[in-house]
Amino acid sequence: MFERRNLRGVQLLHDPILNKGTSFTEKERDVFRLRGLLPPRVNSQEQQVARALESLRRKDSDLERYIFLIALQDRDEKLFYRLVLDHLEELVPIIYTPTVGRACQEYGHIFRRPRGIFISLEDAGEVASLLCNWPYKDVRVVVVTDGERILGLGDLGADGMGIPVGKLSLYTACGGIDPQLCLPVTIDVGTNNEELLSDPLYIGRGHHRVRGPIYDALIKEFIEAVQGLFPRALIQFEDFGNKNAFRLLAEYRNKVCAFNDDIQGTAAVVLAGLHAAGRFTRKPLAEQRYLFFGAGEAGTGIADLLVEEMKNGGWSEKAARRCCWFADSKGLVVSSRHDLAEHKVRYAHPHSFLADPLCMIEAVRPAAIIGVSGQPGIFSERILKRMAEFNERPIIFALSNPTSKSECTAEAAYRFTEGRAIFASGSPFDPVVLDGRKFVPSQGNNAYIFPGIGLGIVASESRRVTDRMILAAARALAAEVTETDLAEGRIYPPLARIRGVSLKIALAVANEAYDQGLAAAPRPSDLESHIRAQVFVPAYTNYV
Ligand code: NAD
């Protein structure tokens, strides 16, 4: 930072952290030799936000808006975050899902400036020296992907880098973690996406995915290098393929400070939604059945956390598991099946095998259907109507991303349940008006959870991320849903309140870290003020 402070002239204008564009004051222009390099009029940050917003809204596609925003982030980070923070509901869907998915699909074609660290197989043995090239030495949050399962879009290889970049933007925008503490990483072990392999503009190495001991050794080297160079960093595994995601989480969660947002973050946000939905249904969690469509990272992660919460409510693990039913691509997950991956076996109950979703609904009679299958439209009209026949307030969570993969639309959910559905989606849907009644769909966005978890971990310097922290985060989020939110049909607070929500989640997580003896930072007398003081505020400051 000291060296950066000595920047002058054009170099200063090209430094995204220090650059203030036309907001450099007269005095700064003199001292830093900016005279003549900037237009004469000095603007306030608000004026620059207005200008950026006008340019942004003039673009005619969300992908173009994404490109504009990334360019702004590369040019003037404070202006980027001020703009995003002031317009969260409008811009989160651009810098994250659904637009980021489209951006990753086109990444090699829209690529401008690199951000983050790329590690490929050829770098084995050199990972620590690669990480040393990162210009900031106090890294506290690392988001890492190997690009194998980007959102619901599959294997995008190194083009998946848009995800760690976007996710870390949300750590800052929604959680207030200083962007200089954040490091996006892509580990390029190849891709099995033939289209990318034959695309000359693909940014990764042009070979198929490597698995087995070579893969494991590279991941291990990476984790150890992060530990050595950035010992206080939280490592967030992101969008790894199913098998590796579960394996890596199991391998590292008790060794380092790591979590997987697709598994645990999703679980927390959905559990918070179920807690809030309980304020409509007035039924305890364990007195209902849940039918998950999709038995992957998201689905089994949610069920595992739900089971933990039911156990806290006094239920046995067995009884809690019996409430959770799964369907995968083949059909109902039942104990007579011999083709089940390990993470599904614990939810395989004795029942005859069923392949038809409607028959599953008839058999399980769930209070909630939770769609994490990536199969658009699987919540058909008949399924939604049937859910409304045996539930006063059917819980319909269509969580697959992006919007095109959603198990049903918000409109279908409300229309076919006579407006009684408690609906949440993964990607945003606009409000729906039916027979003059307005319904505000909830978005079960992980952005409600991971920034707050990150902030709590950073503030307490926790050495681990535990289930108790994840449960505390879910409860803290549910507690932020007001009666007014519920009256509008919302089971999550509006994104506009996210900074306050993240602070409460951070407080709950940090408290757990201290109570569990995992915090390396000394416990402050006023934890909330301590966390609040660490929150990044994207306002320009005067350098002289
Ligand atoms: P995954 O690949 O690990 O799992 C997908 C699962 O869906 C697999 O078990 C597969 O067998 C199953 N499936 C496929 N076709 C099916 C069908 N016809 N019926 C039932 N199941 C079927 O993926 P994941 O990480 O679990 O994510 C799944 C989806 O959930 C993605 O679209 C992702 O974007 C979304 N998601 C949403 C949120 C959120 O809203 N907060 C968070 C995480 C993931």
**Predicted confidence (pLDDT) per residue in 365-403, tens digit:** 999 999 999 999 999 999 999 999 999 999 999 999 888
The tens digit of pLDDT for each residue in 246-303 reads: 999 999 999 999 999 999 999 999 999 999 999 999 999 999 999 999 999 899 999 9
User: What atom in ligand 1 is closest to the CA of residue 397?
Assistant: 40
Q: Which domains does the chain possess?
A: 2-95 (1.20.1370.30), 99-256 (3.40.50.10380), 264-446 (3.40.50.720)
Q: List the residue whose alpha carbon is closest to atom 34 of ligand 1.
A: 401
DSSP 440: -
171 part of the active site: no
pLDDT of residue 4: 55
Please tell me the predicted confidence (pLDDT) of residue 2: 38
Taking the CA of residue 337 as centre, how many other CA atoms within 13 Å lie in the half-sphere pointing to its CB?
23
Q: What is the pLDDT, as a whole number, of residue 5?
A: 63
Percent of the chain with pLDDT over 70: 99
pLDDT tens figures, 175-208:
999 999 999 999 999 999 999 999 999 999 999 9
Q: 368 phi and psi, to 5 degrees? A: -135, 140
400 C-alpha to ligand 1 centroid (Å): 6
Per-residue CA distances from 377 to 47, 192, 312, 492 (Å):
44, 27, 35, 23
**Ligand 1: lining residues by beta carbon, under 6 Å:** 149, 151-152, 242, 262, 266, 269, 293-299, 327-329, 372-375, 378, 399-401, 405, 426, 444-446
Ordered DSSP codes for 92-156? HHHHSTTHHHHHHHTHHHH--S--SEEEEGGGTT-HHHHHHTSS-S---EEEEE-SSS-TTS---
Q: How far is the CA of 216 from the centre of ligand 1 (A)?
A: 24
SS (H, E, C) 55-69: HHHHCCCHHHHHHHH
> Contact, 510 vs 462, CB < 8 A?
yes
Lookup: tokens for 480:
């932020």
For residue 97, the ligand 1 atom closest to its alpha carbon is 34
Active-site annotation holder among 167, 344, 405, 504: 167
Ligand 1 center to residue 328 CA distance, Å? Answer: 9
Length of the chain as a residue count: 544
**Residue nearest ligand 1's atom 39 by CA:** 426
**Mean pLDDT, the chain, whole residue set:** 96
Helix %, strand %, coil % of the chain (to 5): 50, 10, 40
**In this model, does residue 1 exceed pLDDT 50?**
no
